[in-house]
């Protein structure tokens, strides 16, 4: 997934998880990254971090773009056209995981997706 504008950080050893979870998680990352491409501004870079906490996998997607203004997400959600946020939240919720979204104007956007992998990974 790494490109000149996307940096990927991960352990040297493979992170194992059920196939369904892996597919959903990678779809969620792709959605978050395409959102960066569309909304973060032309100069934005993105970083993906994959962590294996043993029993839980954490995927973080951060960009240094324009960020999302306070309340902007809620407005979009109310208007019913917040495809990305909803889609990512839905995918992760289906896996029994949680989503944190941190953003502020000028501060970029940071997703943290926590997904249980069941027992020791």
When the beta carbons of 19 and 120 are compared against another protein, the nearer one is 120
SS3 category, 116: strand
Query: What is 72-91 written as a DSSP string?
Result: HHHHHHHTT--HHHHHHHHH
What token pair was written down for 87?
Answer: 């889609």
Compute the least distance from the CB of residue 20 to another protein, in Å. 23
Interface with another protein by CB under 8 A: which residues?
2, 4, 7-13, 45-47, 49-54, 60, 62, 64, 110, 120
Compute the least distance from the CB of residue 69 to another protein, in Å. 20
What token pair was written down for 10?
Answer: 């991960």
Compute the least distance from the CB of residue 4 to another protein, in Å. 7
């Amino acid at each position: 997934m790494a490109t000149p504008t996307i940096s990927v950080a991960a352990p040297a050893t493979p992170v194992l998880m059920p196939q369904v979870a892996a597919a959903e998680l990678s779809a969620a990352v792709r959605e978050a990254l395409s959102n960066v491409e569309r909304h973060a501004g032309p100069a934005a870079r993105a970083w993906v971090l994959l962590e294996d906490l043993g029993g839980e996998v954490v995927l973080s997607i951060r960009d240094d773009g324009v960020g999302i203004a306070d309340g902007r997400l809620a407005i979009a959600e109310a208007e019913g056209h917040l495809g990305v946020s909803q889609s990512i939240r839905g995918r992760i919720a289906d896996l029994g995981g949680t989503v944190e979204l941190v953003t502020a104007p000028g501060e970029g956007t940071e997703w943290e997706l926590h997904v249980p992998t069941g027992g020791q990974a």
